[in-house]
Amino acid sequence: MTLPFPIAETPDAAEAELGRILFAGQTDFLKGVVAMSGLPPADRTEVCFAGRSNVGKSTLINALTGRKGLARASNTPGRTQEINFFTLADSHYLVDLPGYGYANAPLPVIEKWQRLLKQFLSGRQTLRRAFVLIDARHGIKSVDQEILALLDGAAVTFQCVLTKADKVKARDLDKVLDQVRAALAKHPAAFPEIVLTSSEKGDGIATLRNIIATL
Kindly write down the DSSP assignment for every residue of 11-25, as one continuous string.
Answer: P-HHHHHHHHHHHHS
Determine the pLDDT at residue 53: 85
Q: With the C-alpha atoms ordered 71, 106, 46, 131, is the resulting torsion angle positive or negative?
A: positive
Question: Is the Cβ–Cβ distance between 132 and 159 less than 8 Å?
Answer: yes
Mean of all residue pLDDT scores within the chain: 92
Coil, helix or strand for 208? helix
| pLDDT tens-digit series, residues 110-149 | 788 888 889 999 989 999 999 999 999 999 999 899 899 9
CATH superfamily of 13-213: P-loop containing nucleotide triphosphate hydrolases (3.40.50.300)
Q: Please check the confidence at residue 189 and state whether its pLDDT lies above 90.
A: yes
| pLDDT tens-digit series, residues 25-73 | 999 999 999 999 999 999 999 999 999 988 999 999 999 999 988 988 7
Q: Please check the confidence at residue 78 and state whether its pLDDT lies above 60.
A: no
User: Is residue 21 left, alpha or beta, with left meaning phi > 0 and alpha meaning psi from -120 to 50?
Assistant: alpha
User: Angle at which helices 142-154 and 107-123 pack, to 10 degrees?
Assistant: 40
